[in-house]
Each structure stands twice: as C-alpha cells, then as structure tokens.
Structure 1
C-alpha cells in the first residue's frame, strides 16, 4: 500500500522533532502541518493538540518523527525517536529523515498494530511537498479541465484534494496564534518568523467597525426614503422605472448597503462578492471624479451648452429635408399623394414643436449641464446613465415618429391579414385563439375586397415612413445600448478577482499539478505539488456581479418578426423581467 505524505516545504530545513498534522483515511494521506522541536514534554504537546482541535474542529495528532541528520548527528537522538511511537500512539507511524551530506530523503511508515508477531508492517511512502502559505490562502474551486502540463508533470483534480486544502485552511489557528510559538512547545511552520503587516491589519479591523456602522445607518435611512409610498404613485413610479439614472442609483445603493453591512461574511463567496463590489464602487467613483475634473477644466460645460442648440437645429433641419424628400418621389417611387402629404405635414409640425421647446430651454441648458456634471462624483455609471436619459429626451421626437409610423403600419398589416383570411373563408376566433372556418355573404365579401384594395395601395407609403423612422430609432437605441453595455461592464466586472488572479494567481485555484523531484530505485518518490490558477474566463463567469444594465430579451428571429409586423421595441426591460 502506498501512503501519501504531504510535507510543507517551509519545514524542509527545520530542526528534528515531531510531525504534527491530520490523517485522512479516505485518501490514505497524512497532512503535516508543523514540526514540534526538541526538547519538549509529551503532556504539553498533547495539551497543545487538544487546544488546537477544540478551536479548529480538526483532529490534529502526532503523525510521526522528523529527523534532519544534516544538522544533528544520529547518535544524539538514539532510541528516543523509536520510543515516541509508544507515547503518541498513531497508526501508521511516519519516519521522515533527510540524509546527511546528500539530497536524498528516507520515508517510512510502520503499522504498530500488526498481525505478524513481533514485527510491524512497513508501507511505501510517497512524499509530496506543498507550499503551506499558498495552500492556506488559496480557495479550491470545483474541478475543471486543467491545461496540459510539461513533461514529467502529472495533474490532479480539485475534488480529490479538497480534504487536503480544507485541513490546512481550518488549521489556521495553529499558524496565527503566537502563544504556540512562544510557549513551552516550539513549532516550525510557514509563519514561524512572524506575521507580515499584522499591525496594519489589526488597526484596519478596529477602525472598520464604527465606520461601517455609521455608513450602514445612513444607507438604511436612504433606503427607507427610497421605499416611501410617495414614489409608488403613478407618475413618479413610471419615471422611476423608465429612467436609467434611477435604476443605477438604486443599484448602487444596494451595493453600498451590502459593502458596509456589519454582518460578517458567511463564506468565501460572499467575502469575494463584497470585495468585488467595493473595488467596483471605488473604480466607478474614481472615473467619475476624473470626468468631473475634465468637464470643469477650460469651461467645457459652457462649450457643450453652446454647441447643443446648433446641433439640435442641424438635426431638425436634416429631418425636415428628409420629410420633404419623402413627400416628393423618394427614389423614384410613386406614393399615395394625399396620405404622403398628410403624414409629412404631421411630422413637420412635430419637428417645429420640438425646436420651439429646445429654444425655450436654451437659457437653462448650461445650468442643467453643470448640475448634471456634478452627479459624476457619484460615479461614472451615474454620469453615463444620465447621458443615456438625456439622449432619450433629446430624441423624443424621433421616438414619437417611430411610434406613429409603427402603429399605423401595424394596423394595416393586421388589417390585411384579417381580410386575407376573409377571402379564404376563415376568421380568427378570439375566444379559442385559433383560426376557424366561416361563411360570408356577398356584402361582406364586397366590403372586404374594397377595404383590402385600399389598404394594399396605401401600404407602400406607410411602409416607407415606417422604415425610415424605424432606422432612425434603431440608431438611437444602438447608441443607448452601447452606453448601457459600458455601465453593465463597470457594474458587473469582478475587478478585485481579476486583480487577485493577476497578482496572486494561487489564491484562486482550479486544481493542482505534481512535478517529479526524485524518482530512483530504492528511494521514495518525491513530488512537488503546484497550484493551477483559475482561468480568466472562469474568474469572470464565477465572480461576475449582478447588474441593472439593459440586456436584450429578444432573439434575432423574434426581433425581425416584431420589426416586420410593426410591433414596438423598447430599449428598456420591464421591472418584472429583471433578475436579482
């Protein structure tokens, strides 16, 4: 039987002593956590292990002995190492030894309870070195397809090593409690020389409590104000549901409430989610402050206000030229003269009203833009959401044109389809939601034929107006969609996890791989366990944050079908379609 002994690399040069760790019978493995150095009193070692087991809920025991013969002669230990198995009874009993003057290791395991009289059974030991610090700080993810290893390497899935990682993680108290190192029992592990930046970490922990409590109280007050019944009245609820700015502010309020919550994270997933939200908010505010400084330098807000009215006049002029072209003979097509003139004048009147409104608001545009620019201090996403709402308001006349053309076109399409069923002796059964047979008299067929002919001859004119204004509306929706995608990227991108994957790849582990260190006849096999980091695409997929961005809810087929039949397509999602 082959026994796997996981030995920390930090203990390879430690003084001789006892191997303290956990035995995993399911894996037939021994996980060494620390080395207890000579001299020691056995009862103190047992008290230490009992204290660690009580705190960490990990069955920690003495697994065997460790002898570093390059530092101590064999005679100094004598028969003391052999007699320790009777004091610390553990089956199997490990004996690890590093030969003097060589790089070879001796690894043996004995079963003290043997069926053979006066003889113990010796097992083969496979010695696996691991970086204790990396294993402790890493979080092992579910198994995945690992990348190909180099020659001489072997791979292992994360599922079979979950107990190993869990043992090291739950034994953190053994590494961080200084009384274990300064007491009567002296240990060697990866933190034997001290904890880095422990003072800064403790000061941060002490200061974060009152600050989080104060901010949580303020955020709860804001949440109570936003949940007031006044906001549920019809005009305010409609505006709140349709404006991207309101949705983004509510989304950020939820993020801040979760970040500054005094409730401790229950799992590494929740802790990582909090860290990603905090970094996302900080990056968002930093980008917003950069935008705010850029807008207020060189009076760029005044320049934008002065350029807005001429741009609006230019757009209105181009729309008027477009309508005049449609009212003539566009592309040589022969339109219905009466309907063409009615639709053209109707839309020209809307353009006139819109330009009058823009000129009426022109004295206040600079003040509006100045206050809008101040909102960038809340974050780049808030500024982009306001920009999307401003584009929606400035192109409201194009939206009206699209709605008018789509409704008129849809009415004619459904009228033609209904009259076409009349010619075939069919009708739509509203109650059963199906097409049934029906017999019509002569008058009904005559009126149906007359209406069908009128709609057929009016359809090209209506379809042309619908096509032009639909293309304009799709152009506006595309611009808004790009802004929403940028907002969604800032909201949902797990920046902290990506930075952790870039700077500390071992923290997000997808599995491990083994590299052969020594493989000679008559010598134990020695391997080095290395952590395979999680791929970037899995990091984004695993830690992606929820967002309030506008995601398309239609496939390309359904979108084309709606456009063909004249059904309205809105750029926003209804509240019931959103997912938390």
Structure 2
C-alpha cells in the first residue's frame, strides 16, 4: 500500500522531533503541519493538540517522528523514537529521516496492530510530497466548508484531492502562532517559526491602522460635508466646477480615499483587492507628485517656465495672426467672399489682440501662480496634470471662442439652407407636430426665398473654410488635453497591486474554482 505524506519544505532543516498534523484515511494521506522539537513532555504535546483541535475544528494527531541525522546521532534516538510510537499510538506510524551528508530521505510507515507477528511490524511505501505552507495560506484555495476528522466522530466534508491539504493548513493558523523564542513548554518548527519576531513592526502598524483610519475617515467626512454645502450650488459655481478637470479629479480622489480609509471590513476578496489597488494607486500618485514638486523647485525651473510663457503666447498669437491674414486673402487659390472674409478676419484679429493684452497684464503674476500650482503636486501627479489641463484650456480660450463662433455661424447657414430648400419643394417644418408637411407659397415668398438661398450658398464656402480651420485648431487642443486625461485615468484605474502580485506572487491571484477542480 502506498501512503502519501505532505511534508512542509520549511521543516526540512528542523531539529529531530515529532511530526504533528492530520491523517486523512479516505485518501491514505498525512498532512504534516509542524515538527515538535526535543525535549518535550508527551502530556503537554497532547494538551497543545487538543487546544488547536478545539480552535480549528480539525483533528490533530502525532503522525510519527522526524530525525535529522545531520544534527543528531542515530544511536541516541533509535530506542527513543521506537518508544514514542507506543505513547501516542497512531496508525500508521510515520518515520521520516534525512540521511547524513546526502539529499536522500528515508520514509517508512509502520503498522503495529495489523501485523501477523506481534514483534514484526508491517511497513507501507510512502510517497513524500513537499509543499510550501506560506503559499498555501496566501493562495486561499480552500473551500469554505468545515472539515472534521473521523477521530472526533464528525462527518467528513465532501472535498477531494488537494482541497483537504489547503483546508487543513488554512484552519491550523492557531498552531502557527508560536515561534522559536516562545517560553512555552512545546517548541515547534513551521513556516512562521523563523519570521514571527521580524513582523513586530507589521503588527504595530496593524494595531495603529484602526485609529488612523478612523481619524482619516472623520476628516474625509468633514471635507465631503463641506463640499456638499449649498453655497457651492449657487450659479455659476456648479457650471464652473463641471468644466474644470481639477474639481473632477479632487472629487474622484476624495471618493477613493473614503473607500480606502473606511473602517468597514471588506466583504469579499474582490472588494479587498479593489481597496488595495486604490491604496497603491494613491501612494504612487503622491510619490510621483512629490518628485515633480522637487523637480520644479530645483534650479529655479518655475521662474524659467514663467519667463518662457509670455514669449510662447506671443509666438502663438503671431502665428494665428498670420493664419487669419492668409484666410483674408486667397487661401489655396479659392475664391472667397471678400466682404464677409474681411469682417470675420478683423473680428478674430481683434479677439487675438484682446487676448495678448490680457496675457501681458497677467505677466507679473504668472510666476506666483505657477509656484502655487506647483505646490498642488503634493496632492498627487494626477492633480497637477488636471491643473495643467485647465491651464491649457485657459491659455487657448481664444481658440475655443473662434471654434464656437465658426460652428454657430456654419450651423445657422446650414439650417437656413435646409429650410429654404424645403421652400422650393413646397414643404415646411411643422413645429407643433415635429414633422415636414406640405405647404403652398405665393410668388413673393418664392422670390425672397430664392434670393436668400442664393446669398447663403455664395457665403457658405467662406464660412465653411473658417469653420474647418478653427475646428482643426480646436481638435489639436482637445488631443493634447485628451492625452493628459488619458494619463490621469491610467494612474487612477491601473490595478498596480494586482499586477505586482501577478509578477511576484501569482498564486495569490489563483482562481478558486479552477484550482480545486
């Protein structure tokens, strides 16, 4: 008969002692959880197993002995190991031994009660299977069913394969609470026996996280209450807030921080993973913002940007003036309506003149404005990028005005031409019923309609050209802002924590149903 023994890799270098774990008779397998070191008192070992069994509801027993011959001489443990089998009396009794100076192991499973001769115990073959307890605990692949042992009289849950191993290790966390420096009567070796003392800072951080999260949650609730005040709902504040990317990003960050520092426990692993992704995203955002802040305030780069902003604005205005002068002539050899072309060109040139005057009026305050904007980077890189998007929108406001004027004028002409075209066809638009109905027109109406249609048709190329040029300029600005918003959304929504687990610890993201099937 072949028996399977699941042995933890962390116990391969442990001192000689007892194998503590759970026996699964249906699968003829033994799950080793820890090694009890010599010296010990048997009654204290039994009391420890009873406490663990009561807390975890998993049948614990002493499965056999473990002998590390590189650390202990064989003759000093021979008779003692044989006597332990009569004290704990488990069937079968495992005897695992690591040979001196070799990588080979000696594995035996002895049956004393079923032996034909009382002095000659029968032996079974043992298949030794190594597993990592830390990965098993972190993967959380065990089903949420209560598994009990036949030794306690309970009914075994219907789980098969590796699910029993996962469930046994996961429910035996009480056994892993002691380390090698504990002053208890029983000293164990398991996956955490070498690392519990190193996690003191982690435990202190866990203890302090509750009050810190409560304090931050109260602070965020006050900020949320202040942002929901009726004063912010007075016109035109809601309109301005909806147009500014900074306000939208601050609102998103407030929602993210409220979820991250919430005192409510996560209801599911998906919600816990979402909170972890948000926390890592916020930390990365703040770290990148601080790096940007240090870069801006070193070597007087803010002053250099402020000095270069006005010449850049003058250069852009000069290029726009050249473009309008080109449109006021004969662009690409097209025949334009000279009167309308001159009116539109002078109208837009006057807007550029007003905008340049405004920029020169604000030039003494630009450096101070950029300095305060740079301080906002401590809130995160996304906030700084949102402010940059708003600054671009303000600096190109004249281009937006040109686009709106050209679009409105073009739409009015298209609407007039479509209405006059229905006049030639003997139709009209019924406003009450929202449909096109037949209509009879007299001679004067047809004459005036023909005259207006001719005027609009000859003026349409000039209007369409201005609309096309300003639409392309507006599209260029929107593309730049879109790239900035794409970077902001990437930082906000990229699951960095999940990607890190996928690269470093993929077993943490293993699918439960597929892993158990």
Q: Do the aligned partners of 1:139 and 1:507 also contact (CA within 8 Å) in 2?
A: no
Does the C-alpha gap of structure 1 residues 14 and 206 become closer, same or farther in structure 2, counting only changes over 3 Å?
closer
Does the C-alpha gap of structure 1 residues 38 and 235 become closer, same or farther in structure 2, counting only changes over 3 Å?
same
Aligned to 2:58: 59
Q: Write the distance in 2 (CA, Å) between the matches of 1:121 and 1:410.
A: 97
TM-score (norm 2): 0.77
Q: Do the aligned partners of 2:293 and 2:375 also contact (CA within 8 Å) in 1?
A: yes
In the TM superposition, residue 469 of structure 1 has moved relative to its aligned partner by 0.6
Q: Write the distance in 1 (CA, Å) between the matches of 2:113 and 2:237.
A: 79
Does the C-alpha gap of structure 1 residues 310 and 110 become closer, same or farther in structure 2, counting only changes over 3 Å?
same
**Structure 1 vs Structure 2 CA RMSD:** 4.4
In the TM superposition, residue 196 of structure 1 has moved relative to its aligned partner by 4.3
Does the C-alpha gap of structure 1 residues 316 and 31 become closer, same or farther in structure 2, counting only changes over 3 Å?
same
Q: Deviations over 1:480-500 (max 9, x none)?
A: 122222223333344455555
Does the C-alpha gap of structure 1 residues 205 and 82 become closer, same or farther in structure 2, counting only changes over 3 Å?
closer
In the alignment, structure 2 segments of 5+ residues that lack a partner are 144-159
Q: Deviations over 1:109-149 (max 9, x none)?
A: 799999x9x9x99987543211223433456699xxxxxxx
Q: Deviations over 1:399-451 (max 9, x none)?
A: 11112222232344455556667777887787888x77x54435487776665
Q: Write the distance in 1 (CA, Å) between the matches of 2:317 and 2:142.
A: 57
Does the C-alpha gap of structure 1 residues 111 and 489 become closer, same or farther in structure 2, counting only changes over 3 Å?
farther
In the TM superposition, residue 238 of structure 1 has moved relative to its aligned partner by 1.6
Structure 1, 60-69 or 403-412: larger mean CA deviation: 60-69
In the TM superposition, residue 188 of structure 1 has moved relative to its aligned partner by 2.2
Does the C-alpha gap of structure 1 residues 113 and 282 become closer, same or farther in structure 2, counting only changes over 3 Å?
same
Q: Write the distance in 1 (CA, Å) between the matches of 2:23 and 2:454.
A: 88
SS at match of 1:302: helix
Q: Do the aligned partners of 1:18 and 1:62 also contact (CA within 8 Å) in 2?
A: no
Q: Do the aligned partners of 1:174 and 1:180 also contact (CA within 8 Å) in 2?
A: no
Does the C-alpha gap of structure 1 residues 100 and 246 become closer, same or farther in structure 2, counting only changes over 3 Å?
closer
Aligned to 1:127: 128
In the alignment, structure 1 segments of 5+ residues that lack a partner are 143-158, 513-531, 533-580
Q: Do the aligned partners of 2:16 and 2:66 also contact (CA within 8 Å) in 1?
A: yes
Structure 1, 245-254 or 418-427: larger mean CA deviation: 418-427
Does the C-alpha gap of structure 1 residues 453 and 51 become closer, same or farther in structure 2, counting only changes over 3 Å?
farther
SS at match of 2:353: helix
Aligned to 1:559: none
Q: Do the aligned partners of 1:3 and 1:28 also contact (CA within 8 Å) in 2?
A: yes
SS at match of 2:252: helix
In the TM superposition, residue 385 of structure 1 has moved relative to its aligned partner by 1.4
Aligned to 2:79: 76
SS at match of 1:98: strand
Q: Write the distance in 1 (CA, Å) between the matches of 2:497 and 2:440.
A: 74
Q: Deviations over 1:198-239 (max 9, x none)?
A: 332344344444444444333332222112121122311222
Where do 1:526-545 residues align within 5 Å?
none
Q: Deviations over 1:9-34 (max 9, x none)?
A: 12234455544334678987643211
In the TM superposition, residue 375 of structure 1 has moved relative to its aligned partner by 2.1
Does the C-alpha gap of structure 1 residues 399 and 107 become closer, same or farther in structure 2, counting only changes over 3 Å?
same
Q: Do the aligned partners of 1:140 and 1:509 also contact (CA within 8 Å) in 2?
A: no
Does the C-alpha gap of structure 1 residues 194 and 417 become closer, same or farther in structure 2, counting only changes over 3 Å?
same
Q: Deviations over 1:172-214 (max 9, x none)?
A: 3321234996433332212334524233234434444444444
In the TM superposition, residue 241 of structure 1 has moved relative to its aligned partner by 1.9
SS at match of 2:458: helix
The size of the alignment, in residue pairs, is 487
SS at match of 1:197: helix
Q: Write the distance in 1 (CA, Å) between the matches of 2:372 and 2:237.
A: 21
Q: Do the aligned partners of 2:4 and 2:128 also contact (CA within 8 Å) in 1?
A: yes
In the TM superposition, residue 475 of structure 1 has moved relative to its aligned partner by 0.9
Q: Write the distance in 1 (CA, Å) between the matches of 2:126 and 2:450.
A: 94
Aligned to 1:6: 6
Does the C-alpha gap of structure 1 residues 230 and 11 become closer, same or farther in structure 2, counting only changes over 3 Å?
same
Aligned to 1:303: 304
Aligned to 1:156: none
Does the C-alpha gap of structure 1 residues 174 and 421 become closer, same or farther in structure 2, counting only changes over 3 Å?
farther
Q: Write the distance in 1 (CA, Å) between the matches of 2:297 and 2:53.
A: 61
Q: Do the aligned partners of 1:181 and 1:192 also contact (CA within 8 Å) in 2?
A: no
Q: Write the distance in 1 (CA, Å) between the matches of 2:174 and 2:323.
A: 75
Q: Which has the higher contact order (CA 8 A, sep 6+)?
A: 1
Aligned to 1:95: 94
TM-score (norm 1): 0.70
Where do 1:136-155 residues align within 5 Å?
136-138=137-139
SS at match of 2:297: helix
Does the C-alpha gap of structure 1 residues 11 and 303 become closer, same or farther in structure 2, counting only changes over 3 Å?
closer
Aligned to 1:328: 329
Q: Write the distance in 2 (CA, Å) between the matches of 1:162 and 1:474.
A: 58
